[in-house]
Amino acid sequence: MSRPIKFVPTKNSRGVWVLSIPATLSSTGKRRREFYQKKEAAEARARELKNMMEAGARVARVAGPELIRAAVNYDELFREIYSFAGGLEEACEHLMKLLDEKTRSVPFRQLLISHERSRLANWGKQYLTTWNTFRKHVKDLESKPVISLGAEFWREWLEATADREGWGDRTFNDYASLLSSVWKHGVAQELCEKNPIEGVVRRKIRRMEKAVYTVEQVKTLLNTAWTHDRDLIPFFAITIFAGVRPDLNGEIGLLVWEDVNFEENWIRVGANFDNKTNTKRFVPMEPNLVAWLSPWKKVQGKVLPTNFVKRRRYLTRGKYQAEAESPESKWKELVPYGLKVRDITRHTYGSFLEAKCRDRNIVKENMGHTDFETYEQHYRNARTPKEAEAFWSIYPPEK
């Protein structure tokens, strides 16, 4: 009688808990090791493997008598109805193969942990936020063996989750791609045999124009800021004429005047690779942007002024066009404002830059895109050259 397998995690010299997986339970058919930062996680995995073995033994004990009776009475059924040419013997072999594969299969959690450990050091803040949100969505799936998560499962899961969460087509595709990355890594690490997401069809992205400021709206916005709150000019000029992301905890929020080079006329974005795409780029300044920023040539420190959020709301919501002491409910919006158009300044830049240069490589580099998908979906031929000429001719009021 064989000795029972014991699952006891051990701590190595680096303080990592190691669990030895015997060949009979390994997805590769060979003995391997799994690593955990916490003892509790390693012990939980050990209990899970032990329970799987015990479950397999119970199935075998229950199934044994039934299969014997079937051998006597129903062998022909396996041959003729279930298409097992070898009858019950072949059916038994098939059943044991399924049980064996399920017992060896690692939980989906293991793929997630392995993927995260190998990629975490290269993730930016934005991607890490996306990953954490993704982990919340798949939390209920972590204990499932990977062998049970096939293409059909993921098709249904993605569709159901998209309906529940109100995902658009792009978000659906993004999550499918993220899942595919997890599974590809799992295959490379021999944690699973294939990537089931390859069988999931991506949704077709419909091309649509993003909301942008018109030339007249840009003029009105900048001239109003120039007259009533000039310290807001750098924010609007840089986000509208250089496409710097307007996120206050990201690109524009981290931008300092030392990143603006007036001698060579460029703006350095993501100096410490602390932006959405974890990249650094140098955006050329057009002559009109240089003119708008010239009063700040010798300024140092952050580009955004103090109390920025309140001051921006006053400007865009129309406080300065309303009668004195009017409540905000009586203001008339100066330009589109709010979460639905949160990136309108950046989209304005991309649209009018494309209309000027008609070069997708320039748009990609200046805006920091990682591919041409966004260009094709939102910016290509979005504005006419005549509109672009008027846009890039917007200069500060004469002194």
- pLDDT tens-digit profile of 158-204? 999 999 998 888 889 999 999 999 999 999 988 888 899 998 998 88
> What is the gyration radius of the CA atoms in the chain, in angstroms?
30
pLDDT at 386 over 90: yes
Q: With 50 as the cut, is the pLDDT of residue 251 above it?
A: yes
CA distance linking residue 60 with residue 57, whole number of Å: 5
3-state secondary structure of 193: coil
Q: Report the sign of the C-alpha dihedral through residues 279, 238, 345, 332, in that order.
A: positive
Mean pLDDT value across residues 39-60: 78
Instruction: Name the residue with tokens 């978000």.
Output: 171
Could you give the C-alpha distances from 353 to 47, 383, 393, in angstroms and in order?
59, 9, 13
Both tokens assigned to 218: 């840009």
CA gap 41, 35 in Å, rounded: 9
Identity of the residue numbered 184: K
Q: Is the pLDDT of residue 102 over 90?
A: no
Q: What integer is the mean pLDDT of 91-117?
A: 73
Q: What is the mean pLDDT of residues 231-240?
A: 97
User: Does residue 100 have a pLDDT over 50?
Assistant: no
Query: pLDDT exceeding 90 applies to what percent of the chain?
Result: 48
- Whether the full predicted model's pTM is greater than 0.75, yes or no, is no
Sheet holding 17-21, edge to edge: 10-11, 17-21, 32-36
